[in-house]
Chain A
Amino acid sequence: MSEQALPGAPARTINGRRQMLAEFWHYFSKNRGAVTGLVVFILLVLIAVFAPLLAPHNPDQQFRDHLLSPPFWQDGGSLTFLLGTDAVGRDILSRLIHGARFSLFIGVVVVTIAMTGGILIGLISGFFRGWLDTLFMRIMDIILAFPSLLLALVLVAVLGPGLINAMIAIAIVYQPHFVRLTRASVLSEREREYVISARVAGAGVLRLMFITILPNCLAPLIVQGTLAFSNAILDAAALGFLGMGAQPPTPEWGTMLAEAREFILRAWWVVTFPGLAILITVLAINLMGDGLRDALDPKLKQS
């Protein structure tokens, strides 16, 4: 049984795939915001990858003669420390550059865990229905009943503060969104003709779930994935800010803000730049997410 012979199965041939990509890029590139977001995001990835080469100083090195020195354009600032130094004399720019690694890493790990688990549970729930479905959905309802940050905080309190535990906690909290989305798409896809014909042709359960149905449920999941990516960065920074995420002296942006809090009225730069870095990153990803949604959602395409 060759794959192409399945009637109605969309996007199977290589040509079709290429055409879909071209169409996707056509709609995505029309959205100027989305392209800007993509460019900024690529830059951030490059910064994260080449952080040790780009950073002018070691992010943990303390220049004891330059405590809280302002950015270079202000009186008392110097070109050695472009964005100034913090309370123990560490170069803020270097810490920000290294911080990009943590934020992107957090996003990738959280989305990977939440999405893999969510898709798996959602597929099983939507495909088999019955008591297993009811059980899974009730568990997801329970997770959703708690404000996400609060639940993440409590989970970290159980697991112990730290970056890894914070990521696990956030992934657990985000899981239900992926489960519900996958399940809903599976439910609407599973009675479609191409699935039935695949079933009649003798495709096994696993093949039906992962090869026949899943690719056709991916569009909303990708959009949700970008959303979760940016939210994960925000929540991890919030946990860091509350002292429950990455621990000092890690140059994580939220943790940097927490350390800077007591200097807000004396040294604006130690507070301003880490937050600005978070905002730019999250905004770039959200812009991309908006563009992805417009390009992937057929309902909005015509409008």
Chain B
Amino acid sequence: MLRFFVNKLLLVLPTLIGITIVAFAFVRVLPGDPILLLAGERGVSPERYHKLLVQFGYDLPIWQQYFNYVIGLLHGDFGISISTKRPVIDEFLARFPATLELSVFAMTFATVIGIPAGIISAVKRSSVFDQLTMGVALTGYSMPIFWWGLLLIILFSGMLHWTPVSGRIDLLYFFPPVTGFMTVDALLSGQKGAFQSAVSHLILPSIVLGTIPLAVIARQTRSAMLEVLGEDYVRTARAKGLTPVRVIGLHAFRNALIPVVTTIGLQVGLLMAGAILTETIFSWPGIGKWMIDSISRRDYPVVQGGLVLIAGIVMLVNLIVDLLYGLINPRISHQ
């Protein structure tokens, strides 16, 4: 078991190094001089230029620059934002809870609907419900979510006035962030209506971000269940005269769960790509919007730092899923 864990960790290491190389190279291959980019429109005098060159270590050989960059990363130095002059890591940590909160809501929405829908589809294979669900799932999978978000805004915010158009909470409410999660902070603040406001702001973005995962989970649950339902032990359980609920819930679903859990875990990368679009549409102040704003503002240190942080998080979650998979399914870890 330990060897399995160590092996997995060793496999991750080269990728992690690769990520830092990509991020490091990104700024170097950009057209234009990095110092002039930093200086902005006004430009710099030759003396100041040279001073900055030495200060940022651009006069060193390239491998030494990379080495210093990695040492910096290990010390938590992800660069300084050009536009705000604040450390990238601070900006990241300030926005990350917003994205995390949205992702948690989106994944909850996707799982709570996707898994039961998938199970019923598998059990009632080829029924009207099955065909309808799979049709909807494929539509959801094909959805341009940036358009889907706009449509929901037109319908629920524009026509029905049920939900707010953008942001995390009404401007009426103000309280210091404690956890960074708006729903939790709203409850902690004790202000009347704050929690409802926070939740109502979360509904549409969660649906939009959760749509593709929902489709993937429903399809995956269905095919995993179909595979399991044909197994001998399920037939045995049926033959023993167990109720269908017991057979499906206890015997079949628990075995179908493993690939489904893996699928859910592997959605993280997809979720980050979706967060960029969802946060842009709903002006959600998370890391997705932060990244796209920084790209259009040419705030390259932020893009560089954000790349490493986001890829690092995605890798970490995938690694945890991998390890959990080994724990749930001992057959994997002994290979």
A residues engaging B (CB < 8 A)?
33, 138-139, 141-142, 144-150, 153-154, 157-158, 160, 230, 234, 237-238, 241-244, 254, 257, 261, 264-265, 268, 271-272, 274-276, 278-279, 282-283, 285-287, 290
Contact = CB atoms under 8 A, between A and B. Distances in A.
Contacts of A283: 138-139, 142
B143 A290 contact: no
Interface in B232-254: none
Contacts of A264: 150, 153-154, 158
B280 interface: yes
Contacts of B280: 242
A141 B315 CA distance: 10
Contacts of B214: none
Nearest to A152: B273
A146 B142 contact: no
A141 B146 contact: no
A145 B146 contact: no
Contacts of B272: 147, 150
Contact of A237 (B14, B144, B150, B154): B144
A279 B270 CA distance: 18
3 smallest beta-carbon distances between A and B, as pairs:
A275-B147, A142-B18, A149-B273
Given A146-B314, A275-B147, A275-B150, 5 more contacts: A149-B277, A154-B26, A154-B307, A257-B144, A282-B144
B108 to A, nearest CB: 20
B303 A274 contact: no
Interface in B6-28: 14-15, 18-19, 21-22, 26
A160 B295 CA distance: 11
Contacts of B143: 279, 282
A123 B263 CA distance: 28
Contacts of B269: 144, 146-148
A145 B23 CA distance: 12
B276 to A, nearest CB: 6
A154 B146 CA distance: 19
8 contacts: A142-B22, A147-B311, A149-B276, A150-B307, A157-B295, A234-B142, A237-B144, A238-B277
Contacts, number: 128
Contact of A290 (B138, B154, B291, B315): B138
A230 B138 CA distance: 12
Q: Which one of A146, A230, A244, A276 has the highest number of Cβ atoms from chain B below 10 Å of its Cβ? A: A146
Interface of B: 14-15, 18-19, 21-22, 26, 29-31, 135, 138-139, 141-144, 146-148, 150-151, 153-154, 157-158, 269-270, 272-273, 276-277, 280, 291-292, 295-296, 298, 303, 307, 310-311, 314-315
B303 A275 contact: no
Given A146-B307, A283-B138, A141 B150 contact: no
B276 A150 contact: yes
Given A153-B295, A271-B147, A147 B142 contact: no
B310 A150 contact: yes
Contacts of B292: 153, 242
Contacts of A149: 273, 276-277
A287 B157 CA distance: 32
Contacts of A282: 142-144
Contacts of B18: 138-139, 141-142, 145
Contacts of A158: 26, 29-30
B144 A238 contact: yes
Contact of B151 (A147, A241, A272): A272
Nearest to A138: B14
A144 B146 CA distance: 23
